Amino acid sequence: MSKVLVVDDSRTIRIIIRRILIELGYEVCEAANGIEALKVLETEKTAVKLVLADWNMPEMNGLELVKCLRQNHEFDSLKVLMVTTETEMDQMASALEAGANEYVMKPFTKDILTEKLELVGMPSMAGV
């Protein structure tokens, strides 16, 4: 079973994303900001295959997290999706240039998230 790390300072958003991912057959761990995410990844680095990160978080935001992950070659194969309310094309471009694999705008549906997961090579694991 593939493990996914959900990084968002909103507990509610983490719960929503967690439920969708569990329905899709993924194992989920969580962090409330980029610094917590790095700590989780340090202990789970081989298990976590995908990170879903919010942009706007305290301590270390999602863009800073993406840049940090892409500087560490241990995480070269890690897929990263930005899941955010930031809808400006410039911000989307910044996230993709920094190394995010895809970009999901809030609010989103299960179908949108499923489609983005498939685009990065992480299809539904339900029933597998």
Partners of 82 in beta bridges: 53, 103
Give this prediction's pTM.
0.94
Q: Tell me: the pLDDT tens digits for 53-98?
A: 999 999 999 999 999 999 999 999 999 999 988 888 899 999 999 9
Per DSSP (E only), the strands in the chain are 3-7, 27-31, 48-53, 79-84, 102-105
At the top level of CATH, which class does the domain 3-119 belong to? alpha beta
Domain boundaries, the chain: 3-119
C-alpha to C-alpha distances, 17 to 5, 8, 13, 21, 109, nearest whole angstrom:
10, 10, 6, 6, 10
